[in-house]
Structure 1
Amino acid sequence: MTAATATTGLPTLLLPSADGAPRSYRLSAPGEWTRPTAPITSRNVYAAAHVVPRMDAENTPGSPADLDWDATLAYRHELWSYGLGVADAMDTAQRGMGLDWTATRELIRRSAAEAAAVVAERRPELEGKSVRDLVSCGAGTDQLDPAGITPGADGLRAVADAYLEQLAVVEESGAKVILMCSRALARAASTPQDYLDVYGRLLREASRPVVLHWLGTMFDPALAGYWGSEDTAAATATFLDLIRDHAEKVDGVKVSLLDAGHEVELRAQLPAGVRLYTGDDFNYPELIHGDGTHHSDALLGIFAAIYPAASTALQAYDAGDAERGRAILTSTQDLGRQIFAAPTYYYKTGVAFLSWLNGHQSGFQLVGGLHAGRSLPHLVRVFTLADQAGLLLDPELAARRMGALLETGGAA
């Protein structure tokens, strides 16, 4: 239940506690976030956005994705209005977890077309930005069934051909290409050289520099042994060999291993001009802030959930107030660690949950029924941490929706 308080005008909500007894919780005011009035320049940043299904669709495991295109694209416009780029058709958008290639292809085309329209508007917060700056899209191999891939030359050829089909779709849209990790390649490849051969072919075929994506097993267990080894140091050596051999075709690398020390070491070894886009949703404040010599740019799923704070922090960096920028990012870190807690591949549930609480979708659902991937206590914790970070932008709406969820779940 909720009730507006006379003293603050903010709602109070009864939330279940660890011992099961309800506790009164008063919501906070939203943070003093600002939309930029000029382009963000201190860091290159993409927020990896989720997709919104039609609420009356068959959103059950195994059903084809059926998207609410108006809500899905409106969310991207919201991110752009805060000066952030959008990473689309990524694992945040449920690639390999409900979003099939048919829907993904349409998502890429629609998002890039919307980005082109935004560029044409010449908004001050995006002045001088290109479509590639506003949207980058994943190219993978998920039109293949990994179970049907056999190790060896035939499997590697099928993987490369599937990649090239998707690379062409992204390039034709005008978006920047992100070469995603491939479950099929992990099955087909037997050696580091297999990875170098497939990726080398893709980079030679790419017409413009791409982002290479290294996704850890905490996000997708099927990627064990990627780059030819389960030893991180050996895999990193292969990864760096690929980048150095094709540096002119590599815009940057997105690393999602949740290992800050590894990322710091890797970014110091990258060739000049190759960016490191952190994918570390646990340690992003320190990595974006940098060590005085290097800093990470960002391509983050958590930024789709904390985008008003992320944008305000980046504006502080642009203004020369790095300590304020880091403090803002740090204030969201506990929320990020909760959303991305193990099992990490269910983090999309938290991103959609905050989208629903903040009114960006009419119901709390995800494609393929993935909204059921987190427990009610987990979501209660996300709710309170988001509130404490100032990221419940309409407290009355958020409290009302949280109360409805608690009642439906039998906890009210």
Structure 2
Amino acid sequence: MSIIFLPSADGSIGRHILGEPEALPTHADPSTSRLAYAAAHIVADPLRADATGGPDQIDWDATLHLRHRLWDLGLGVAEAMDTAQRGMGLDWPAARELARRTVAEARTRGAKVVVGIATDQLPAEADDLSTVRDAYLEQLSEIEGLGGEVVLMASRNLVRAASGPEDYVSVYDAVLKHATRPVVLHWLGEMFDPALAGYWGHSDPLKAMDVVTDLITAHAGTVRGIKMSLLDADLEGELRRRLPAGVHLFTGDDYHYTDLIAGDGHHHSDALLGAFAVVGRHAAAALARLDAGDEPGFREILAPTEPLSQLVFAAPTRFYKIGVAWLSYLNGAQDHFRMIGGFETGRSLGHLGDLVRAADATGYFTDPDFTARRAAAYFSAHGIG
């Protein structure tokens, strides 16, 4: 019996008994009914990680090992995106090196990977449209030159530079015209990054959706799909209905993914989720059920993980990467709980304790005794035991 004393966000400390792991049959074959990508995090070098960030602070072996674990579950990897602390500790030189290594590793096993591109080689104050466009094009050229496909991420610089929807369209038009491989767009809400408020030139998401759908329709031959990360299932359903035939809606809704992936009988969402980096075993097993036509079985496995995901992505949402790394550490997928830029300090010890409880409720921990020892040692080092 694995007993541990855990802090809680309400300030209390309580005794908890870890349960047995959920038996979840998985395999390395990708889903046949849905496209599914997990946005993976990075593992810091614990001896080098500090507040400055940078490529030399990444433990490359451990980071790539995490990607292979996801591929072993049949999931694709979404690389160098916000789960990997893009713009929050991971700069462009580090992202470029991460992309190079991951694309090369994927090629050795025929695995799926897409790579985020942005404009983060620019200084934060850059606000010239042509400069922003050229920064996107530089990163597009770099990643396509590696043989990778891109996710065209939202740009803080573009928010500064754009005076209206037409400026967003002009920049995206230029980038999409230069793309030689299919592109996934990314609509990231301000709950993930407050600097992206009013993206597409509108604060009203329905007006912004008009801009997005017109853009996608004009480039339907190039746009493979769009990842929507607004945490609003109704808005996602509306955009899904508006998309041209053959263009995928990749859910980025880490709160409501079960219903969205299952679909409404007419349309469904595919998946490109940070949550799947946490609940990858459950996601893989659930998708296998869906592939077999067993939607109730899919829901039975995946729906119970949503409370855990909702806690991982609780406001302020941008700190969700901490939960991803914490649970990875407790489940033995990495050897420490340090993050580049000292990012792990963005959540309280009580929040970390609540994550243990929520994860345990899903049968998450594959070796409860191991997890209990790791968690107890960590909390003890902070005066809790």
TM-score by structure 2 length?
A: 0.97
1:207 aligned onto 2:180: yes
> Which residue identity lines up with residue 85 of structure 1 in the other structure?
G
- Tell me the equivalent position of 1:126: none
Give the whole-Å Cα distance in 1 for the aligned partners of 2:13 and 2:312. 23
- Tell me the equivalent position of 2:268: 295
Q: SS of the residue aligned with 2:307?
A: helix
Q: Is the 8 A contact 1:87 1:136 kept in 2?
A: yes
Q: Is the 8 A contact 2:80 2:95 kept in 1?
A: yes
- Tell me the equivalent position of 1:89: 80
Q: Is the 8 A contact 1:14 1:23 kept in 2?
A: yes
The RMSD of aligned alpha carbons is 1.2
Q: Is the 8 A contact 2:8 2:349 kept in 1?
A: no
- Tell me the equivalent position of 1:60: 50
What is the deviation of 1:328?
A: 1.2
- Tell me the equivalent position of 2:116: 138
Q: Is the 8 A contact 2:8 2:351 kept in 1?
A: no
Residues 241 and 365 of structure 1, relative CA distance in 2, 3 Å threshold:
same
- Tell me the equivalent position of 1:127: none
Q: SS of the residue aligned with 1:326?
A: helix
1:219 aligned onto 2:192: yes
Q: Is the 8 A contact 1:146 1:187 kept in 2?
A: no
Give the whole-Å Cα distance in 1 for the aligned partners of 2:123 and 2:384. 40
> Which residue identity lines up with residue 132 of structure 2 in the other structure?
V
Give the whole-Å Cα distance in 2 for the aligned partners of 1:35 and 1:333. 19
What is the deviation of 1:193?
A: 0.5
Residues 402 and 160 of structure 1, relative CA distance in 2, 3 Å threshold:
same
> Which residue identity lines up with residue 123 of structure 2 in the other structure?
D
What is the deviation of 1:359?
A: 1.1
- Tell me the equivalent position of 1:382: 355
> Paired residue for 1:248, among 204, 216, 221?
221
- How many residues of Structure 1 are paired with residues of Structure 2 in the alignment? 384
Q: SS of the residue aligned with 1:253?
A: strand
For residues 133-156 of structure 1, give each alpha carbon's deviation from its aligned partner in whole angstroms, at most 9, with x where no partner exists. x10000110001121x23xxxx11
Which is further off, 375-384 or 168-177? Answer: 168-177
Q: Is the 8 A contact 1:215 1:223 kept in 2?
A: yes
> Paired residue for 1:372, among 345, 351, 369?
345
Q: Is the 8 A contact 2:50 2:341 kept in 1?
A: yes
> Paired residue for 1:29, among 20, 33, 36?
20
- Tell me the equivalent position of 1:125: none
For residues 280-320 of structure 1, give each alpha carbon's deviation from its aligned partner in whole angstroms, at most 9, with x where no partner exists. 00111110111111110000001001000000000000111
- Tell me the equivalent position of 2:154: 181
Give the whole-Å Cα distance in 2 for the aligned partners of 1:170 and 1:392. 36
Which is further off, 396-405 or 305-314? Answer: 396-405
For residues 332-362 of structure 1, give each alpha carbon's deviation from its aligned partner in whole angstroms, at most 9, with x where no partner exists. 0000000000000000000000111111211
- Tell me the equivalent position of 1:12: 3
Which is further off, 191-200 or 170-179? Answer: 170-179
Give the whole-Å Cα distance in 2 for the aligned partners of 1:82 and 1:290. 22
What is the deviation of 1:243?
A: 0.4
> Which residue identity lines up with residue 380 of structure 2 in the other structure?
E
Q: Is the 8 A contact 2:44 2:339 kept in 1?
A: yes
What is the deviation of 1:233?
A: 1.2
Q: Is the 8 A contact 2:53 2:90 kept in 1?
A: no
Q: SS of the residue aligned with 1:110?
A: helix
Give the whole-Å Cα distance in 2 for the aligned partners of 1:22 and 1:206. 53
> Paired residue for 1:361, among 334, 342, 350?
334
What is the deviation of 1:39?
A: 3.4
Q: Is the 8 A contact 2:217 2:244 kept in 1?
A: yes
Residues 365 and 304 of structure 1, relative CA distance in 2, 3 Å threshold:
same
Give the whole-Å Cα distance in 2 for the aligned partners of 1:259 and 1:23. 34
1:79 aligned onto 2:70: yes
Unaligned runs of 5+ in 2: none
What is the deviation of 1:394?
A: 1.6
Residues 18 and 254 of structure 1, relative CA distance in 2, 3 Å threshold:
closer
Unaligned runs of 5+ in 1: 6-10, 120-130
Give the whole-Å Cα distance in 2 for the aligned partners of 1:316 and 1:179. 31
Percentage identity across paired residues of the two chains? 52
What is the deviation of 1:397?
A: 1.4
Q: Is the 8 A contact 2:155 2:196 kept in 1?
A: yes
Residues 219 and 21 of structure 1, relative CA distance in 2, 3 Å threshold:
closer
